Amino acid sequence: QVRLVESGGGVVQPGRSLRLSCAASGFTFSSYGMHWVRQAPGKGLEWVAMVSYDGSEKYYADSVKGRFTTSRDNSKNTLYLQMNSLRPEDTAVYYCAKEVNWKSYHFDSWGQGILVTVSS
Amino acid sequence: EIVLTQSPATLSLSPGERATLSCRASQTITRYLAWYQQKPGQAPRLLIYDASNRATGIPVRFSGSGSGTDFTLSISSLEPEDFAVYYCQQRSNWPLTFGGGTKVEIK
């Protein structure tokens, strides 16, 4: 079965960097676009970033553009989110999510989520 | 950016009742809308994609309808496990966006 496991979260000071990873298994990782979605404490869902199946296309929410970079290593079945210049408003649970099928941009599998807290 | 407005914010119903949730888009999104269910402390779960397609393993009591700017998620007869928060999400335009959510609570 599909499994997505995020790691790399924690507490970080404003202005610092953090890299999240998402280890995938149970499906052909290299065939699916992958996304990051976040949820601030007690709030709704916010889409963050997307990388296509081969890494050639990437899209970002305006709130993170220029600060966050997503990438993937298909040889390791792993998705990444490099987060730079972190702000308190980036505090959230970050989920990685798999597309239903090619360029579907709906998400049929999600990780358990990882908490990122930006605080001094 | 396409704004999705969900209503009502909270729906208070009893088990066995029918639930009707609404999602309205700020511009047409044809049928590129999904619905997710989220319970406390859990990741969201895909229920419906492309307006009316049930995801794998989703019970038939969940159904989606609509096109253009107005969409509906219906739960024909609420089961105890259906009390949760529901989100809609559009994939018509970048950036992808979610609605603010509807909480279905036990009356």
CA distance, residue B1 to nearest chain A CA (Å): 10
In this complex, the residue of A61, A106, A108 whose CB is nearest that of residue B91 is A106
Say how far apart CA A106 and CA B34 lie, in whole Å: 7
**What is chain A's length?**
120
B13 bridge partner residues = B106
Contact A107 B44 (CB under 8 A): yes
Q: Can you tell me the distance from the alpha carbon of B20 to that of B64, in angstroms, rounded to the nearest whole number?
A: 10
pLDDT digits (tens, 9 = 90+) for B77-106: 999 999 999 999 999 999 999 999 999 999
Please indicate whether, in this complex, the C-beta atoms of B97 and A47 are within 8 angstroms of each other: yes
The pLDDT, as a whole number, for residue A103 is 82
Digitized pLDDT (tens) for each residue of chain B, 107 residues in all:
999 999 999 999 999 999 999 999 999 999 999 999 999 999 999 999 999 999 999 999 999 999 999 999 999 999 999 999 999 999 999 999 999 999 999 99
Q: A99-116: b or e for each residue (b if 16 or more CB lie within 10 Å)?
A: bbeeebbbbbbbbebbeb
CB contact (8 A) between residue A110 and residue B44: yes
Q: Decide if B95 and A61 are in contact by the 8 Å CB cutoff.
A: yes
Chain B interface, best mutation among A106, A108, A114, by max B CB count within 10 A: A106
Q: What is the pLDDT along chain A (120 residues), one digit of tens a residue?
A: 999 999 999 999 999 999 999 999 999 999 999 999 999 999 999 999 999 999 999 999 999 999 999 999 999 999 999 999 999 999 999 999 999 988 889 999 999 999 999 999
Which chain A residues have a beta carbon less than 8 Å from that of B10?
Answer: none
Give the amino acid at B4: L
| Token pair of A58 as six digits | 């990437």
Which among B59, B90, B55, B91 is positioned nearest to B75, based on CA atoms?
B59
Closest CB from B43, B89, B100 relative to A95: B43
> Across the interface, do A108 and B91 touch by the CB < 8 Å criterion?
no
pLDDT confidence of residue A102: 82
Q: What is the CA radius of gyration of chain B?
A: 13
Chain B residues whose beta carbon lies within 8 Å of the beta carbon of residue A95: 43-44
3-state helix, strand, coil in chain A (%, to 5): 5, 50, 45
